[in-house]
């Protein structure tokens, strides 16, 4: 069984807020958010249009979860700087 490669990603909602998450397939996960599907995050429902503004390959699920938590703890200004980089 091959190991999955995990990514951390950020989505900008229509109201300007940022959502951070992890996935093995960012395109599929973003589509779930856009559709407002039950698998999409409750936070992003009704906040479209959505824009995928950041994604980064991390490695294992554990590493991706740790990076997600680190990003979520950053200030909005720091997150915006990450997106611009």
Domains of the chain, start order: 6-84 (3.40.1440.10)
Q: What is the pLDDT of residues 53-81, one digit of tens each?
A: 999 999 999 999 999 999 999 999 999 99
Q: How confident is the model at residue 1 (pLDDT cuts 50, 70, 90)?
A: low
Stated pTM of the model: 0.92
Mean pLDDT computed over 30-36 = 90
Q: What is the pLDDT confidence band of residue 37, given thresholds at 50, 70 and 90?
A: confident
Main-chain phi, psi angles of 12, to 5 degrees: -100, 125
Lookup result for tokens 């093995």: 24
Asked if residue 77 lies in contact with residue 18, where contact means CB atoms within 8 angstroms, the answer is no
Q: Measured at the alpha carbon of residue 15, what is the angle toward residues 71 and 10, in degrees to the nearest 5? A: 25
């Amino acid at each position: 069984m091959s190991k999955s490669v995990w990514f951390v990603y950020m989505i900008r909602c229509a109201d300007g807020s940022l959502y951070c998450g992890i996935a093995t397939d960012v395109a599929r996960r973003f589509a779930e958010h856009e559709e407002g599907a039950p698998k999409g995050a409750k936070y992003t429902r009704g906040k479209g249009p959505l824009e995928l503004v950041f994604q980064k390959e991390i490695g294992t699920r554990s590493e991706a979860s740790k990076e997600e938590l680190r990003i979520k703890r950053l200030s909005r200004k720091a997150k915006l700087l990450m997106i611009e980089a």
